[in-house]
Chains A and B, each alone.
Chain A
Amino acid sequence: MLIDCPHCGPRDLAEFSYQGDATRTRPDPASTDTQAWLDYVYNRPNPAGRHREYWQHTGGCRAHLVVERDTLTHEIHAVAPVRGNAKSGDAA
């Protein structure tokens, strides 16, 4: 699998560290809504098909990327940096 890092160019997946689902939103830090925290920390959509997920280019620029990848074929459809997007979590 190759991930086209927007900063470094296409690199092998061995350079990256997977950071999981990118569709969750962290509750407001002051939130006391336990269910919202539980959803954020524990619950995942875990789709079979396109998945928006974070990868960190640990062996390169160390930036976090939002990658849209198919979990059935491993095909990568889009890669974008997390930073520089208006709102993280909605990137790409």
Chain B
Amino acid sequence: MSPRRTSAGGSIDRTRTIRFTFDGEAHTGHAGDTLASALLANGVSLVGRSFKYHRPRGVFSAGVDEPNALVTILREGVREPNIPATQIELHDGLRAESQNRFPSLAWDFGALNQLGGRLLGAGFYYKTFMGPVAGPLKGTRFWMMCEHVIRRAAGLGRADYEADPSRYEHMNAFCDVLVVGGGIAGLMAAEAAAKAGKRVILAEQEKQTGGFARWSGETIDAKPADAWAAEITARLSALDNVRLLTRTAVWGYYDGNTLAALERVNDHVARTPKGHPRQRHWTIRAGTVVLATGALERPIVFPGNDCPGVMLAGAVRRYAGEFGVLPGEKTVLFTNNDSAYQAAAAIRRAGGHVAAIVDVRKQIGDEATALATEAGVVPLTGHAIVGTKGGKALSGAVVQAFDADTGRLSGEARPIDCDSLAVSGGWQPVIHLASQAGGKPVWDAEKQAFLPPEPTQRWIGAGAFLGETGSVEALASGRNAGLKSADKRPSRAKLPETAPSALDLTPAPVLEIRGKGKAFVDFQHDVTADDVRLAHREGFVSVEHLKRYTTLGMATDQGKTSNVPGLAIMAAARGIEIPQAGTTRFRPPFSPVAIGALAAERYGDLKPERLTPLHDWHEEHGAEMTPAGLWHRPLAYAGAGETVEQAYIREASAVRRSVGLVDVSTLGKIAVKGPDAATFLDRVYTNTFSTLKVGKARYGLMLREDGLVFDDGTTWRLGETDFLMTTTTANAGPVMQHLEYCLDILWPDLKVHLTSVTDQWAGAAIAGPKARAVLERCVTGTAVDNDALPFMGIVHGEIDGAPVMICRLSFSGELAYEVYCGAGHGVHVWEALLEAGEPFGITPYGMEALGALRIEKGHVTGAEIDGRTTARDLYLDGMLSKKKSFIGSGLMDRPALIDRNRLRLVGVVSLDGQPLGGGAHLVESGNRDEPGDSIGHVTGYCYSPALEKYIGLALVKGGKTRHGTRAFLSDPLRKRFGQVEIVSHHFFDPDGERMHG
């Protein structure tokens, strides 16, 4: 048994020994310990180093508010930095490391920063490190050298670059009543709501419910309070309409009574069972929320208050009561209220020694006096602690007479021998969630605390959250909150019995004792009381300026122990009351949340993958796949020893020479049906569709309302009132949404129905002089000759028994057809087409060849329709109907949109025999090093098998007017420069003889 562990008492299991290491050193603890309680039991007082001064720090609290004892957990092969030791449940094999120290926790070079002392006050970095205005270190260079060093000294734990091996889960839950906090108020609320038939979720951030009752030593209904809490918890667990979530911190209160919670499912076991989540992210939509989140103790600020061994009094009481751990052999308590007396008695009951109780108040009540007597001391009232002794462990405190009304110290400062100092500055309700929900906390001058705001969403408060301090009140307000959440009136039925307390937990308004030496307000960020006063002196007096200038409250504990003392010191400096100094708006999360937990199932699986029905075939046939939005598409089918460029040239040549086949299933497809379908298309397209004959297709252009090009594609008239619209792959979703908007909002009178059918059809384009011959070999049920299937005609037939729809249209400029069949028949039809094409050497082709063919032909795609081009820029003026209005016609003729010098579509030919490059610019000057202003850029390029040179499409100022002129390709990012000729974008077969043939 370790020296600080009591022989009995608490809820740890002394029969079970647990082995763990801290900084490589082996220790033991017991089942039920936290890492903090186990370290304290082992007499480890130094557990961390502070952020700025690297001062030695020990465990300060027993819960979520811990500012000092942050450690890195090494688990499952990865590091998890900055975890409070107070929140780590001890388990076998736990490995923890201290942080922010080099080379070791005991001997840390960073501690040299303390010598900087007052040089390193609040905001010192704003005043220096600017460096010289001239010379090699001018500009930002000197600062960046300093920053390099500062960054290494700052930070806390070290993170891994290894991927987190954990799995995370997201759950959605719905309930009538969400109770946040499983203390006695929360338990009472949950039971009352559950009995009224409500669906209840009770979330408790610790490993079990009970809260304060677990270590208070009080009696409820003639039972030890922890046993009473266990019983009511068991009753709740047995109810079907109650879900108990332990190790679950509710951390966010969002709009619409939506709350976010984190359940630490497997952090308390040595190894996460295979397939299980490490943590679970809950989104809980609650009818009503009961906030029973309790209160956190705040410290008093005094010189030397950060010495390891100084702790919150409530934490000392908890360590003694729950873990059977005494924080020291001789404890001094320092307080401004009665709660430290309970801690003193608890220490005594656990067999510890209380050296003194130092109280800033002149007088104390009978009950407090009785507790002091039980603890074996006479309280030193009207006194204060003005200093501590010891470096890496506390060895004494210094006490002096103090007048709480004037704040004056008097008389001689006397040392008291002690190795533990427990401090209480009163209690602050945990109102974070209520603040997140909206609403401003209210300062209660009597209670010296911020109380919850008026609810702005549907929540009810209970227990210490309301600023109540006793168990009697918590039981009553908990039950009432539960009843109210079930729309019931408060009950007069008997409450569980517990002894009322006459203790006065209202603190004297003393939160700082001024004296010599550093007095810390924010422990983790090393913000001292003098820093707060410096901020005041320099005018950073509003609470947000204070926070930002000093970094008060910005550390991982989010100021849980420092907010109120910091405000109190600022208010005193300004000579105003605390509420006038301001309040902080709390923001999510209440306590830190693993980023992976919020990603949940999307960690490792960010977005769905869209695969065409032919995907497996492509992969099996050697296609290199390329991402296109969420889709994967074949880039080229490179054979052995073939580069992608060689492959696409071979594929494109095959199309020009004979025939090729490409998967076009990714094109957006929208079924547009209804009596007004044609009218509708006339309004959304710039050109006319109502005149289109059944069985024919037409190329269409869509603008946005601002007159710029939105999308293009062909739309097929399958019946009088039945159209199939195709869109570009990238815009399938946006076009659908646009059409729905138009129908629902602009023209609700039109009778049209839209259905996205992108995934229902597999599509293959067959292109080349032999394309018709291939179809003739495999299509049944319809003729495919020029009469039956003219350019832009549509027929229905079968290929090898599968129904198909064939439209003769061409992206490649060749005689070409798009063959559509049900997605399930995709591979079957594709293979039938290949088989039929075998005598012609039919060649499957990928995106690169498709691109090369369309560039030769001058067809535009997303690279040209980039949201900044007009129809005129793309020389598609002919598509703009003059006979009707359409989406975009109202604004498309604004002066800057019809300016002739806009970037407009041209072709470019490489004159140096070298490839062009997507994203390369064009310039007029031949000076490679000073190319001057850009006149445009290349949108797509390829090697043209038909022209046997490198060509590209480009958007160039003035467009056509530059045809026949020379310019230079300038691509400094890829270090390419060369001469080009600007030509028409219709490189190949400009009159379309081949595709009409």
User: Cβ of B493 < 8 Å from any Cβ of A?
Assistant: no
Chain A residues contacting B894 (CB-CB under 8 Å) are 34
854-892 of chain B: CB within 8 A of chain A: 885-886, 889-891
Q: How many residues of A contact B (CB 8 A)?
A: 31
**B residues 272-320 touching A (CB-CB < 8 Å):** 283, 285
Query: Taking the complex as formed, is B713 at the interface, i.e. its CB lies under 8 A from any CB of chain A?
Result: no
In the complex the two chains form, is A41's CB within 8 Å of B705's CB? Answer: yes
Give A22 to B890 CA distance when docked, in angstroms.
20
B746 at the interface (CB under 8 A from A): yes
Q: Is B456 part of the binding interface, using a Cβ–Cβ cutoff of 8 Å? A: yes
B745 to chain A, nearest CB (A): 5
B958: Cβ under 8 A from any A Cβ: no
Bound together, the chains give a CA A1 to CA B569 distance in angstroms of: 39
B256 engages A64 (CB within 8 Å): no
Chain A residue at minimum C-beta to C-beta distance from B747: A88
- Is the beta-carbon distance between A34 and B890 smaller than 8 angstroms? yes
Q: Report yes or no: B745 in contact with A82, Cβ–Cβ below 8 A.
A: yes
* Residues of B in contact with A, size category: 20 to 34
B744 within 8 A of A: yes
Question: Assuming the A-B contacts A19-B741, A30-B885, A64-B741, are A82 and B748 also in contact, with contact meaning beta carbons closer than 8 angstroms in the complex?
Answer: yes
Q: Which residue in chain A gives the minimum CB-CB distance to B749?
A: A88
Structural contact, A88 and B744, CB atoms closer than 8 A: yes
Q: Which residues between 10 and 64 of chain A lie within 8 Å of chain B, taking CB atoms?
A: 12-13, 17, 19, 26-27, 29-32, 34, 37-38, 40-41, 54, 56, 58, 62-64
Q: Contacts A26-B746, A82-B745; is A31 near B737 (CB within 8 Å)?
A: no
Min CB gap A28→B, angstroms: 9
> Which residue on chain B has the smallest CB distance to residue A84?
B748
Q: How far is the CA of A31 from the CA of B705 in the complex (A)?
A: 13
Looking at the assembled complex, report how far the CB atom of B258 sits from the nearest CB atom of chain A, in whole angstroms: 7
B438, B745, B891 — most chain A CB neighbours (10 Å): B745
Quick check: B891 and A41 within 8 Å, CB to CB?
A: yes
Q: Whose C-beta in chain A lies nearest to the C-beta of B706?
A: A41
Q: How far is the CB of B797 from chain A (nearest CB, A)?
A: 33
B973 to chain A, nearest CB (A): 35
Give complex CA distance A82, B749 in Å: 12
Structural contact, A56 and B748, CB atoms closer than 8 A:
no
Contact partner of A1 (CB less than 8 A), chosen from B258, B737, B746, is B258
Cross-chain contact B744 with A83 (CB below 8 angstroms): yes
Decide if B744 touches A74 in the complex (CB within 8 Å): no
Tell me which residues across on chain B come within 8 A of A54, comparing CB atoms. 741, 745
Chain A residue at smallest Cβ distance from B746: A26
User: Contact check: which of A2, A26, A27, A41 meets B256 at CB < 8 Å?
Assistant: A2
Contacts A56-B741, A62-B740 known; A88 to B746 CB distance under 8 Å?
Answer: yes
User: Is B642 among interface residues, defined by CB-CB distance under 8 A?
Assistant: no
User: B706 — which chain A residues lie within 8 A by C-beta?
Assistant: 41
B926–chain A nearest beta-carbon distance, Å: 42
B57 contacts partner chain A, Cβ-Cβ < 8 Å: no
Tell me if A38 and B740 are in contact (CB < 8 A). Answer: no
Contact B885 A29 (CB under 8 A): yes
The contact of B740 among A1, A29, A31, A56, by CB within 8 Å, is A56
| A29 to B748 alpha-carbon distance, docked (Å) | 15
Residues of chain B with a CB closer than 8 A to A76's CB: 256
Q: Is the CB of A37 within 8 A of B890?
A: yes
Q: Within 8 Å CB of B745, what residues of A?
A: 19, 54, 64, 82, 88-89
CB contact under 8 A between A34 and B891, given known A29-B885, A82-B744, A82-B745 = yes
Q: Closest B-chain residue to A85, C-beta based? A: B748
Chain A residues with CB below 8 A from B285, complex form:
2, 12
Chain B proximity mask over A70-92: 1 for CB below 8 Å, otherwise 0: 00011110000011000011000
In the complex the two chains form, what is the Cα distance from A86 to B673 in whole Å?
23
Any A CB within 8 A of the CB of B255:
yes
Q: Does B264 contact A (CB under 8 A)?
A: no
Output the nearest chain A residue to B733 by Cβ-Cβ distance: A58
Number of A-B contacts (CB under 8 A): 65
List residues of chain B with CB within 8 A of the CB of A19: 741, 745
Give Cα distance in the complex from A76 to B456, angstroms.
13
Give B174's nearest chain A residue, CB to CB.
A10
Closest to A42 in B: B706
Task: Specify which chain A residues have a CB less than 8 angstroms from the CB of B258 in the assembled complex.
Answer: 1-2, 12
Q: Which residues of B contact A2 (CB under 8 A)?
A: 256, 258, 285
| Cβ < 8 Å to A, chain B residues 891-917 | 891, 894
- Complexed CA–CA distance, A32 and B890 (Å): 7
Assembled-state Cα–Cα distance A62/B755 (Å): 11
Q: Given the complex of chains A and B, what is the CA–CA distance between A74 and B741 in angstroms?
A: 23
Which residue on chain A has the smallest CB distance to residue B456? A73
**Closest B residue, CB atoms, query A82:** B744
Note all chain A residues with C-beta closer than 8 A to B698.
none
Complex Cα distance, B889 from A19, in Å, reads 21
Closest chain A residue to B740 by CB distance? A62
CB distance from A25 to the nearest CB of B (A): 10
> What A residues does B744 contact at CB under 8 A?
56, 63-64, 82-83, 88
Contact indicator A1/B683 (Cβ below 8 Å): no
- Shortest Cβ distance from B694 into chain A, in angstroms? 26
Bound-state Cα–Cα, A89 to B741, Å: 12
Report Cα–Cα, A38/B255, bound state, in Å: 34
Q: Which of B743-774 contact A (CB under 8 A)?
A: 744-746, 748
What are the residues of chain B within 8 A of A27 when measuring CB–CB?
A: 890
- Rounded to whole angstroms, the CA-CA distance of A1 and B85 in the bound complex is 36
Query: Smallest Cβ distance from A30 to chain B, in angstroms?
Result: 5
- Chain B residue at minimal CB-CB distance from A64: B744
Neighbouring B residues of A29 by C-beta, 8 Å: 683, 885-886, 889-890
With A and B bound together, what is the CA distance between A63 and B745 in angstroms? 10
Residues of chain A with a CB closer than 8 A to B456's CB: 73
What's the nearest-Cβ distance from chain B to residue A19, in Å?
6
B795 to chain A, nearest CB (A): 32
| B257 CB, nearest partner CB in chain A, Å | 8
Task: For A56, list chain B residues within 8 Å (CB).
Answer: 737, 740-741, 744
B748–A88 contact, CB under 8 A?
A: yes
Q: When chains A and B are docked, how far (Å) is the Cα of A12 from the Cα of B889? A: 37
Q: Are A31 and B741 in contact (CB under 8 A)?
A: no
How many angstroms between the C-alpha atoms of A30 and B683 in the bound complex? 11
Q: A2-B285, A88-B748 are in contact. Are A58 and B255 (CB under 8 A)?
A: no
Nearest CB in chain B: distance from A68 CB, A: 15
- How far apart are the CA atoms of A16 and B601 in the complex, in Å? 21
**Do residues B740 and A64 form an inter-chain contact, with CB atoms below 8 A?**
yes
CA distance A29 to B890 in the complex (A): 8
Min C-beta distance of B707 to chain A, whole Å = 9
Give the CA-CA distance A86 to B458 in the complex, in Å.
35
Give the complex CA separation of A12 and B438 in angstroms.
19
| List of A residues within 8 angstroms of B741 by Cβ | 19, 54, 56, 64
Instruction: Report yes or no: A58 in contact with B737, Cβ–Cβ below 8 A.
Output: yes
In chain B, residues 719-753, which have Cβ atoms closer than 8 Å to a Cβ of chain A? 737, 740-741, 744-746, 748
Within 8 A of A (CB), among B245-260: 254-256, 258
Chain B residues 408 to 442 lying within 8 A of chain A, measured CB to CB, are: 438
Q: How far is the CA of A74 from the CA of B285 in the complex (A)?
A: 16
CB <8 Å contact, B891 and A38? yes
**CB-defined contacts of A75 to chain B, threshold 8 Å:** 255
Question: In the complex, which residues of chain A have a beta carbon less than 8 angstroms from the beta carbon of B254?
Answer: 1
What CA separation (Å) do A63 and B748 show in the bound complex? 11
Per the bound structure, the CA–CA distance linking A72 and B283 in Å amounts to: 23
- A27-B890, A64-B740 given; name 8 further pairs at CB < 8 Å: A17-B737, A30-B885, A40-B890, A64-B744, A64-B745, A74-B255, A83-B744, A88-B748
14 contacts between A and B (CB under 8 A): A13-B256, A17-B737, A26-B746, A34-B894, A41-B891, A54-B745, A63-B744, A64-B744, A64-B745, A74-B255, A82-B744, A83-B744, A88-B746, A89-B745
Which 6 residue pairs spanning A and B have beta carbons closest together? A37-B890, A64-B744, A29-B885, A2-B256, A1-B255, A74-B255
Interfacial residues, chain A to chain B (CB-CB below 8 A) = 1-2, 12-13, 17, 19, 26-27, 29-32, 34, 37-38, 40-41, 54, 56, 58, 62-64, 73-76, 82-83, 88-89
- Chain B residues near A (Cβ < 8 Å): 254-256, 258, 283, 285, 438, 456, 683, 705-706, 737, 740-741, 744-746, 748, 885-886, 889-891, 894
